């Protein structure tokens, strides 16, 4: 073999050694692009979701919105999916309570990306983007101290009741969603201008944003259900628990006394605009990090032996179940059997009687706040 041939072989060998790892590296690091789906495929997938309105994908806007959710750089969508794991059970509860389709929960995704503290340039706020006047009409408190549009439970029930009322008036879910976005008055005027209550004819008389609103809802529903096909992973968020608070207290003091980061407590309770909870006979729902509820209760109550009933408790059902199971309210509330109680007319002050009973007769008292 001549020197020239040897040189050629060496040159080829060196090129192969350099090219092979480069190619392998490119293959391993390059993301796999999801297959672009046709309108028919998108429509077929949406129809599987049992949405309350027709799901034909025929416009470029819907496809573009889906791409915005699921395209490259989907970190915002992954965070939204993490929040969905926390908030969707709340949405589903109130939708079921008021007999509305569970799939309306996707509307909050289109509205706010499930950011509880979201505020728009038009002053709509919260998960459901309620306007101040609308929220007050629905019974929410909106002022410089408390903004219940930012409370997950209160705002969700208000939005659900609003959707229910709109459906009672318009019946067509396309018109209902349009009315939720633009207002019932705007949709009524559009219906009069169109001379019809058929959405396809009314749509042209609605604002541009409202014309695209149904498509935004469809895109949100698609993204939440088919994100895995696009390589997205929900961002896991720490859970929270709720405590009802009746007296005035600052979030900073509560955080300090209960070993909670002040910034965390403010972030998960954006409804308290001035960072304190005002006094209230009915109480406000305070969200606390999972695992800190008992510490907060102990601090608020001063002792671990008080009972808190959820505001949505079905007392009639609870009473029936208690009777069936032989529940003894005296034993539960006082921690003592009924036959251990002594009923006598005290000859001393009420305070003295209370102290004597606690010291002498309630010796088998048990804490029950955690039951």
Which residues are marked as active site?
Answer: 111
Helix axes 173-182, 213-226, angle to 10 degrees: 110
Query: What 3 state SS string does the chain have?
Result: CCHHHHHHHHHHHHHHHHHHHHHHHHHHHCCCCCCCCCHHHHHHHHHCCCCCCCCCCCCHHHHHHHHHHHCCCCHHHHHHHHHHHHHHHHHHHHHHHCCCCHHHHHHHHHHHCCCCCCECCCCCECCCCECHHHHHHCCCCECCCEEHHHCHHHHHHHHHHHHHHHHHHHCCHHHHHHHHHHCHHHHHHHHHHHCCCCHHHHHHHCCHHHHCHHHHHHHHHHHHHHHHHHCCCCCCCCCEEEEEECCCEEHHHHHHHCCCCHHHHHHCCCCECCCEECCCCCCEEEEEECCCHHHHHHHHHCCCCCCCCCCCCCHHHHHHHHHHCCCCHHHHHHCCCHHHCCCCCCCCCHHHHHHHHHHHHCCCCCCCCCC
């Amino acid at each position: 073999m001549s020197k020239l041939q040897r040189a050629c072989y060496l040159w080829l060998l060196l090129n192969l050694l350099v090219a092979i790892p480069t190619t392998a590296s490119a293959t391993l690091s390059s993301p796999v692009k999801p297959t672009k789906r046709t309108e028919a495929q998108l429509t077929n997938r949406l129809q599987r979701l049992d949405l309350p309105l027709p799901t034909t994908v025929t416009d470029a806007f819907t496809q573009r919105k889906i791409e915005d959710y699921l395209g490259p750089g989907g970190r915002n969508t992954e965070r939204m999916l993490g929040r969905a794991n926390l908030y969707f059970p709340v949405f589903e509860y109130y939708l079921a309570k008021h007999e509305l389709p569970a799939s309306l929960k996707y509307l909050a995704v289109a509205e706010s990306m499930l950011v509880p503290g979201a505020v728009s340039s038009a002053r709509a706020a919260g998960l459901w983007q309620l306007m101040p006047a609308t929220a007050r009409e629905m019974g929410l408190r909106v002022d410089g101290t408390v903004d219940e549009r930012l409370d997950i439970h209160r705002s969700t029930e208000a939005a659900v009741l609003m959707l229910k009322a709109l459906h009672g008036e318009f019946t067509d879910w396309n018109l209902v969603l349009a009315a939720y976005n633009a207002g019932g008055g705007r949709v009524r005027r559009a219906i009069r201008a169109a001379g019809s209550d058929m959405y396809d004819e009314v749509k042209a008389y609605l604002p541009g944003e409202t014309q695209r609103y149904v498509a935004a809802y469809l895109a949100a529903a698609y993204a939440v259900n088919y994100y895995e096909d696009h390589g997205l992973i929900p961002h896991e968020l720490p859970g929270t628990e709720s405590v009802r608070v009746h007296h005035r207290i600052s979030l900073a003091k509560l955080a300090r006394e209960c070993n909670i980061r002040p910034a965390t407590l403010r972030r998960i309770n954006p409804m308290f605009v001035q960072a304190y909870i005002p006094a209230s006979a009915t109480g406000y729902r305070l969200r606390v990090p999972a695992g800190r509820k008992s510490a907060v209760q102990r601090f608020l109550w001063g002792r671990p032996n008080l009972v808190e009933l959820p505001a949505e408790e079905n007392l009639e059902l609870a009473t029936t179940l208690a009777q069936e199971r032989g529940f003894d309210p005296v034993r539960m509330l006082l921690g003592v059997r009924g036959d251990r109680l002594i009923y006598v007319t005290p000859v001393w002050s009420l305070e003295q009687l209370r102290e004597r009973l606690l010291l002498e007769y309630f010796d088998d008292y048990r804490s029950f706040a955690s039951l």
